[in-house]
Structure 1
């Protein structure tokens, strides 16, 4: 078995390691600003940075767009060779399988990383590639440089992302008042629908045939939907999104939620009356127009239907 030393620094640290890890950290901050997972990397050769990179997977739709690979590609161009022997790669997070494979194939001599990645790290966490026999090259690995700082950056990022998430769920006693308020803002105040037409006997939490759905962002109700099921058909109604949140695909997420509920409950048809301005939202989810345009609450609508294919379980 190949034995490659894994150094974990907890005490006095090399000034050089600190310096170059800080450069990698600056790259990670760039990724953070782009709402990419904040991982940064630099490649050093003869005390010079020859490659820099940060995650670009989301912004550039690039499957291999991890910081390590971006930095190594740049280093290869700078040095005029794919062979990065003699180079040290500094990266803020323990490399994954894809990046560790690329590191070994490009013959990087040393890898210095900040914090461990318990879910996908391949230099000691999930697996240690340097302990797999048969490869021609194994890098020296140094772990734990600026561990707390790099770990905290990741934690802050994912906490922020969780706060940005939009949750779709059933309304309850704690959210029902806000649910009705959003409907008032959209349908009564914006679209001038008579409150007597907007609210009806179904607007209660006690009716077992109807389910009221809310979209929530940072504990604020920002979207509403009402699902009425009768005789194997689900009807979507009262779908509304507060004005400041209409560029976040909230309506699409709510419609998708309804489709999943139909699939899970053996419902074969979903129907709705769509305002003409919202037709494309439903078309993208597989709904088809049927019948003629008609007026409902003084606004032009058209009926749309989606057939649900349910799985047969033995």
Structure 2
């Protein structure tokens, strides 16, 4: 089940997944993981049937589009279409909030995944937290 975060407990679940995936798995410093956009971003959570939090994403206003960030899924849930369902839910919520386009900085290892969802790569590969990324966009 995917939902928009509406309380501090859900936001804490989101931060917990981000710490697990970005800080512990990928080595991003914790002080770089949480940022000044937490308050203005719309956070999305995924919960399993047993109520275990397993997926997170956020988007925020960026120029004239929504910027999708901090997309993470616990390793044991990375199969079975969970990532696709998460991103479809993010797109639905962003569209309901009035956005017609999304931009994201995809880790290069996930570029094919985003291409399969209709995103288009733009520009050159760049480093963010010592991980190769590429800018991608999609009209929704």
TM-score of the pair, normalised by structure 1: 0.42
Aligned to 2:43: 212
CA contact (8 A) 1:168 1:216 kept: yes
Q: Deviations over 1:60-118 (max 9, x none)?
A: xxxxxxxxxxxxxxxxxxxxxxxxxxxxxxxxxxxxxxxxxxxxxxxxxxxxxxxxxxx
Q: Deviations over 1:221-270 (max 9, x none)?
A: 10110111244311110000001111122221111112112332331210
TM-score of the pair, normalised by structure 2: 0.91
Mapped partners of 1:273, 1:262: distance in 2: 17
Q: Give structure 2 stretches of 5+ with no counterpart.
A: none
Runs of 4+ in 1 over 3 A off after TM superposition: none
Instruction: Supply the RMSD in Å over aligned alpha carbons.
Output: 1.3
Aligned to 2:99: 267
Aligned length: 138
Aligned to 1:35: none
* Residue 95 (structure 2) pairs with residue 290 (structure 1): no
Structure having the higher strand fraction is 2
Aligned to 2:37: 202
Mapped partners of 1:279, 1:186: distance in 2: 17
Q: CA deviation at 1:279?
A: 1.1
CA contact (8 A) 1:168 1:254 kept: yes
Mapped partners of 1:248, 1:179: distance in 2: 21
* Residue 14 (structure 2) pairs with residue 168 (structure 1): no
> Between Structure 1 and Structure 2, whose CA radius of gyration is higher?
1
Compare 229-238 and 183-192 and name the one that shifted more. Answer: 229-238
CA contact (8 A) 1:232 1:268 kept: no
2:60 aligned residue (228, 233, 246) = 228
Q: Give structure 1 stretches of 5+ with no counterpart.
A: 1-166, 309-314
